[in-house]
Chain A
């Protein structure tokens, strides 16, 4: 197992290198790193000095090698926009994003698994058809439009029609002014809509996978054997079948990590949450190349790590799968 993990980590280095090199090169073409010096009064004397200081006189491969060498040691350079270290800023914003990631994943997994189990056990019932219909809508719906509709329905409408001073749910930020911490109602009133936005598409697609894999498992011989020897249906479903039906879902969930990062950009923008997604959009509109580069590398590492975790979990959940 350990050798497998180490080998997977080592084999992901070339992928990261390719991704970061392409991004590095592209951003160097798109954004002039000397832009802020070009308009200086003594530009003629400053430019060659700065070019030398930033290493721009060297070939692009050499520049990238230096950058990558520092990056693996946690030094992602300095942001053009804020003049702070990119690594520190990313970690700071990541703290906020993790609220959404953790809650979003937990909420979608629980709901999707429950719907999947229900739909499989009560196949072709009214409830099954209803969830199937809803999942088609959920998959087809642009998440940002869902967010706008949710704000109208759950924030604006109740406030106007019931004449409330404060809306029931908030649509800006994660905390009210002067508040912090996670053990108060204010936090959850802020959290509800962003988490819902992030979860809706995952719930729609994961519940379909869960239904299919549960149906698969429920048709297996060992389930019939368990029923035949008199195990109650409830226990067969929840203990015999569930564990096996979860195996394929884990892979799907991990593969959706890249998708989650995109969802975070939209969610954080609509609900003004200062996480990594907002950091990316702010950096993009400011043309902050070092920050964009750091963001890309970080997300790539996270996606690769999520896939590795999924493969390891796959082996844990299903001992027949040998990792080698």
Chain B
């Protein structure tokens, strides 16, 4: 057992618990973040179990309503679509793909971005130069254009969309975590670990990464919002999700004609509201996490 291990074994238990308690207390003080978390969990659960939660079966058309768009009512909370489908049920099903893409892109790009950023920041050299040139290059080209071109070529299934969005999204995370690693690398605790014989990988995993949990989690949260918006925008432009899959962006794209008919306003209003609510909740959650992880940050809000 090395000295570092001994230190951890002795100090870990009580310190870890108080940290977690502090974090929890600070997070629950941020009321907006807590409310947002609850709303997000509710929406995610409702969408995940859409086939059971949804009041109507979206594959079964209400024939009495076929061709007549009806606005919101007690029977159909969000009204019905042109083909007589209950829009609330449709929104729950569409949310599956929107949220799935949002969460998956955030997790994948964060994992990959942190790994690449940590390696290039810690080891420097040719690897760092290559990666920096690459991420700098991505900063100067419009993301939306590149994503549209890539999706046009690779196809439109949810899995492809996730990979393509994450394939571009990691560059930002990599830049952020590289900067963090660069500053931690010079700190005394890393020097101490090195002096006690720890190698590169061990220092990164055991000493540097735990210090970056806060920013990484905040970044992860915020990139969910980014991915959800990007997916809906690309879909609206015609390069994202395609039928028979459905997402909130696709619903908006299919209902675009409603801009000329105020009786169909609900077809544009509700899918967009869902996007807005999810993104706002995610942003508030990110704020809450940032305050909770970083006690030195100003509590100006």
Q: Is the Cβ of A258 less than 8 Å from the Cβ of B143?
A: yes
In the bound complex, what is the Cα–Cα distance between A269 and B152 (angstroms)? 17
Residue of B nearest to A31 (CB): B153
Q: Which residues of A contact B233 (CB under 8 A)?
A: 142-144, 266
Q: Is the interface of A mostly helix, strand, loop or mixed?
A: helix
Tell me how many residue pairs across A and B have CB atoms closer than 8 Å: 123
**Interface: B15 (CB within 8 A):** no
Q: B139, B148, B259: which contacts A258 (Cβ < 8 A)?
A: B139
Least distance between B258 CB and chain A CB atoms (Å)? 8
In the bound complex, what is the Cα–Cα distance between A199 and B233 (angstroms)? 17
Q: Which residues of A contact B20 (CB under 8 A)?
A: none
Q: Is the Cβ of A144 less than 8 Å from the Cβ of B133?
A: no
Q: Is the Cβ of B283 less than 8 Å from the Cβ of A139?
A: yes
Given the interface contacts A149-B268, A281-B237, does A141 sit within 8 Å of B133 by beta carbon?
no
**Interface: B140 (CB within 8 A):** yes
Least distance between A70 CB and chain B CB atoms (Å)? 20
Given the interface contacts A22-B137, A284-B148, A284-B152, does A141 sit within 8 Å of B276 by beta carbon?
yes
Residue of B nearest to A269 (CB): B237
In the bound complex, what is the Cα–Cα distance between A140 and B136 (angstroms)? 26
**Interface: B296 (CB within 8 A):** no
Residue of B nearest to A303 (CB): B140
Least distance between B183 CB and chain A CB atoms (Å)? 21
Residue of B nearest to A161 (CB): B262
Residue of A nearest to B134 (CB): A18
Q: Which residues of B contact A296 (CB under 8 A)?
A: 141, 145-146
**Interface: A300 (CB within 8 A):** yes
**Interface: B125 (CB within 8 A):** no
Q: Is the Cβ of B237 less than 8 Å from the Cβ of A265?
A: yes
Please report the total number of A residues contacting B with Cβ < 8 Å. Answer: 46
Q: Is the Cβ of B225 less than 8 Å from the Cβ of A262?
A: no
- Chain A residues numbered 138-192 whose CB sits less than 8 Å from any CB in chain B: 139-145, 148-149, 151-152, 155-157, 160-161, 171
Least distance between A200 CB and chain B CB atoms (Å)? 13
**Interface: A136 (CB within 8 A):** yes
Q: Is the Cβ of B236 less than 8 Å from the Cβ of A295?
A: no
Q: Is the Cβ of B152 less than 8 Å from the Cβ of A145?
A: no
Q: B142, B229, B262: which contacts A265 (Cβ < 8 A)?
A: B142
Given the interface contacts A18-B133, A19-B137, does A140 sit within 8 Å of B225 by beta carbon?
yes
In the bound complex, what is the Cα–Cα distance between A23 and B237 (angstroms)? 21
Q: Is the Cβ of A265 less than 8 Å from the Cβ of B140?
A: no
Q: Is the Cβ of B256 less than 8 Å from the Cβ of A148?
A: yes
Q: Which residues of B contact A281 (CB under 8 A)?
A: 148, 237
In the bound complex, what is the Cα–Cα distance between A148 and B233 (angstroms)? 12
Least distance between A193 CB and chain B CB atoms (Å)? 11
Q: Which residues of A contact B145 (CB under 8 A)?
A: 261-262, 265, 280, 295-296, 299
Q: Is the Cβ of B141 less than 8 Å from the Cβ of A152?
A: no
Q: Interface residues, chain B, CB within 8 Å of chain A?
A: 133-134, 136-137, 139-146, 148-149, 152-153, 225, 229, 232-233, 236-239, 249, 252, 256, 258-262, 265, 268-269, 272, 275-276, 279-280, 283-284
22 contacts between A and B (CB under 8 A): A14-B133, A19-B141, A30-B152, A140-B276, A142-B233, A142-B236, A142-B272, A148-B259, A151-B259, A152-B258, A152-B262, A152-B265, A156-B259, A258-B139, A258-B143, A261-B145, A269-B237, A281-B148, A281-B237, A296-B145, A299-B141, A299-B145
